[in-house]
Amino acid sequence: MNQTRLYPLRFDPIYQYRLWGGRHLASLLSTPLPGDGPIGEAWVLSDRSDHQSLVANGPLKGQTIGRLMEQCREQLMGKFAPRFRRFPLLLKFLDAHKMLSVQVHPSDAYPDLIPAGETGKTEAWVVIEAEKKSHIYAGLKAGTTADDLRHSIAGGAIADCLVGIVPKPGDAVFIPAGTVHTLGGGVVVFEAQQNSDVTFRLYDWGHVDAKTGKPRPLQVNQAFACIDFEGSAGGLVTSRVEANMPVERERLFDCEPFQLWRLLGQASFPVGTAGEPRVLVCIGGSGQLEHAKIPYAVGKGDVWLLPAEVGVCAFHPSPQATLLEIAIHGS
């Protein structure tokens, strides 16, 4: 495989049952939803041992992202090849029909709370759809103490301690590790995060899992151990426009694990960069990605990995498109 010349790689979603999920992802992604139950997450690029994304196009169709990382890491990762043995980001769409548990993720500063092989977990959301009843909570209100939070949990009033956001499409919300957060009420977001699955639940709104007939377990003590009570940088962010031509390019997030831009264009524009991988996510419209004079059709919801050796490609909207472009930190 390491003799194969890499090219733009498309991945199909891995759908995940979640009791708080819905069926909204059916209108966002082209791959049909399984069954008729609640689907809360679509893992669209995952290098996890239990959920491996599969290449969906070209000569490498059917290969896992993990196998690519083993067999052609330098071609795929470029300057990041020495740093990462697995792809360091986990990318998802979330359909939060009901409220998620109120939760927190640890940072790497708490190794005793992180299982072997995992890392801390900073994440970020871009709102795709929202309803009038949608809610996002990101961070504690100023001055909230550990005692305040414990009392609010005991009294079922935890929302009184949280910073609330009324989301609308296009909003960008940053959730650094240590930030108490949740979302729900019919909101759909794209999520970029560190490749970690460590979550501690503080409160679960009385949810009962229909599959088990029981509430889900909480991890209150672990959560309190890693909450940032001093005030984090989480919450609604203000984008920064970096260019208007040939594409409107907004930087939404620039944090330790990743950078993320939103691109809105009607004329052809470049994507990707030399010597490092980039991920493209189409969240609106459609178009064609062109590499080595070969066109690749891109539709809403599609996720493409541009390997480092692919470098810069051209994107041709038809007639317009909105993309997210994601880079590993260090660009």
If you average pLDDT over every residue of the chain, what do you get?
A: 95
Domain edge (last residue) among 212, 236, 260: 236
Cα–Cα dist 52/44, whole Å:
10
Residues 202 and 70 in one domain: yes
Dump pLDDT digits (tens) for 166-215.
999 999 999 999 999 999 999 999 999 999 999 999 999 999 988 899 99
How much is the pTM?
Answer: 0.96
Residues 112 and 245 in one domain: no
Cα–Cα dist 170/168, whole Å:
6
Domain edge (last residue) among 190, 216, 236: 236
CATH number at residue 202: 2.60.120.10
Residue 50: CB atoms within 10 Å: 7
In a domain, 208, yes or no: yes
- Give catalytic residues, as residue numbers: 201
Domain edge (last residue) among 184, 214, 236: 236
Residues 155 and 272 in one domain: no
In a domain, 4, yes or no: no
The tens-digit pLDDT sequence of the chain (331 residues) is 656 799 999 999 999 999 999 999 999 999 999 999 999 999 999 999 999 999 999 999 999 999 999 999 999 999 999 999 999 999 999 999 999 999 999 999 999 999 998 999 999 999 999 999 999 999 999 999 999 999 999 999 999 999 999 999 999 999 999 999 999 999 999 999 999 999 999 999 999 988 899 999 999 999 999 999 987 789 999 999 999 999 999 999 999 899 999 999 999 999 999 999 999 999 999 999 999 999 999 999 999 999 999 999 999 999 999 999 999 986 4
Residues 205 and 286 in one domain: no
Cα–Cα dist 30/270, whole Å:
25
Q: Which amino acid is at 329?
A: H
Residues 256 and 209 in one domain: no
Q: Which domain holds residue 179?
A: 9-236
Give pLDDT, residue 211. Answer: 84
Residues 249 and 229 in one domain: no
Residues 164 and 26 in one domain: yes
In a domain, 32, yes or no: yes
Residues 310 and 163 in one domain: no
Dump pLDDT digits (tens) for 12-51.
999 999 999 999 999 999 999 999 999 999 999 999 999 9
Residues 145 and 171 in one domain: yes
Count of domains in the chain?
Answer: 2
Residues 46 and 21 in one domain: yes
List the structure tokens of 310: 């692919």
Question: Are the beta carbons of 236 and 164 closer than 8 angstroms?
Answer: no
Give pLDDT, residue 331. Answer: 47
Residues 251 and 138 in one domain: no
Residues 186 and 39 in one domain: yes
